[in-house]
C-alpha cells in the first residue's frame, strides 16, 4: 500500500477517534488538519504534495459520503516540510502558535518527524505519519503522540534473521548507502533501515561485517575491492555460529 493511500486512511482514523471523544457535543466542530509534506519529492517512497493532498481529500470525502461525520468542518493547512529537520518543526511551531492544526499528518522524513513528534506532546497535537520507520520511534516515552501507519525497520531485521536461521547461514554482511561525502546531509534512510538489522546480527553472532558507500559519489569507490572483502568476511565459517 502506497504512502498516499495511508495518508487517506490516516484521515479516516483521526476523524473516527475525534468523533468518539466529542460525539456528545451536538454543536458544529471545526477540525484543522496540519499537513507537513515535501512539495517536491525525489524519493520513490515519499509522495509529493499533489498526491498526498489528493489522498487526504479522498479520505475526507469518504467519511462525509458514508455519513461518518456530520456537523464537522474540515480545514486543511499545508506547509512544505522540504524533508528538513529544521524547516519541518519550524512550520509545525508556526501552525501551533497560529492555532492552525488539531493533528499533524506527516512529516514523512525521519529527521523532520523526529523533531515534530518530540514537541507534539507539549502542544497536545498528535502526529500521524506513514513514515517514521526508524527503530528509535518505538520509544513511546519520547514520542508519546506519534502514530505510525507502516511497519518499523525492526520488522525488516526480524525477516532477515528468520531467513538466515532457516537456511543456517552463519555469516552475514551489509553494504549500505550513507551520506559520507557530504555529512551535512545527515544519515541516509538506508542507514536507519540497516541499523536494526546490524543490531540483531550483533546480538546473535560475532560482530557482522559491513561497508558504507555514498551512491552519489561512486567514483570514490572500487566495488570490486568491496565485494572481495565481503566474500572474505561473509563466506568463511564463523567461530560462533548464529544458531545452535
CATH match of 3-148 with 3.40.50.2300: yes
Per-residue pLDDT tens for 155-203? 888 898 898 888 888 788 899 999 898 877 778 888 888 998 998 888 7
> What is the pLDDT of the chain when averaged over all its residues?
82
d(CA 90, CA 202): 38
Report the DSSP pairing between strands 173-177 and 146-148: unpaired
pLDDT of residue 47: 72
* pLDDT category of residue 20 using cuts at 50, 70 and 90: very low
Long-range contacts of 48-55 (CB under 8 A, 24+ apart): 49/78, 49/80, 51/4, 52/3, 52/4, 52/7, 52/105, 52/106, 53/78, 54/4, 55/4, 55/5, 55/6, 55/7, 55/8
d(CA 233, CA 15): 52
Three cell numbers, residue 113: 518527524
Per-residue pLDDT tens for 37-63? 888 876 656 777 888 888 888 888 887
Cα 102 to chain centroid distance, Å, stands at: 21
pLDDT of residue 120: 94
d(CA 80, CA 162): 39
Radius of gyration of the chain from its Cα atoms, rounded to whole angstroms: 22
Is 30 in a helix, a strand, or coil? strand
Answer for the pair 117, 141: CB distance below 8 angstroms, yes or no: no
103-130 average pLDDT score: 91
For the question of whether the overall pTM of this predicted structure is more than 0.95, the answer is no
Answer for the pair 88, 81: CB distance below 8 angstroms, yes or no: yes
Amino acid at each position: 500500500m502506497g504512502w498516499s493511500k495511508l495518508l487517506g486512511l490516516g484521515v479516516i482514523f483521526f476523524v473516527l477517534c475525534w468523533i468518539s471523544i466529542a460525539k456528545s457535543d451536538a454543536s458544529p466542530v471545526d477540525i484543522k488538519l496540519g499537513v507537513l509534506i515535501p512539495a517536491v519529492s525525489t524519493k520513490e517512497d515519499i509522495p509529493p504534495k499533489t498526491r498526498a493532498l489528493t489522498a487526504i481529500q479522498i479520505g475526507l470525502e469518504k467519511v462525509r459520503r458514508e455519513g461518518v461525520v456530520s456537523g464537522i468542518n474540515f480545514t486543511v493547512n499545508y506547509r512544505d516540510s522540504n524533508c528538513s529537520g529544521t524547516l519541518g518543526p519550524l512550520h509545525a511551531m508556526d501552525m501551533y502558535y497560529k492555532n492552525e492544526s488539531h493533528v499533524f499528518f506527516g512529516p514523512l522524513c525521519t529527521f523532520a518527524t523526529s523533531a515534530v513528534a518530540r514537541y507534539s506532546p507539549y502542544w497536545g497535537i498528535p502526529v500521524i505519519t506513514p513514515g517514521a520507520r526508524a527503530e528509535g520511534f518505538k520509544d513511546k516515552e519520547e514520542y508519546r503522540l506519534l502514530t505510525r501507519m507502516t511497519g518499523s525497520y525492526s520488522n525488516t531485521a526480524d525477516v532477515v534473521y528468520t531467513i538466515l536461521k532457516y537456511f543456517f547461514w552463519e555469516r552475514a554482511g551489509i553494504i549500505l548507502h550513507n551520506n559520507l561525502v557530504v555529512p551535512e546531509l545527515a544519515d541516509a534512510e538506508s542507514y536507519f533501515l540497516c541499523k536494526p538489522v546490524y543490531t540483531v546480527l550483533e546480538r546473535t553472532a560475532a560482530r557482522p561485517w559491513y561497508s558504507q558507500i555514498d551512491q552519489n559519489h561512486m567514483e570514490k569507490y572500487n566495488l570490486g575491492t568491496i565485494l572481495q572483502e565481503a566474500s572474505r568476511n561473509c563466506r568463511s565459517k564463523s567461530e560462533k555460529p548464529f544458531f545452535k
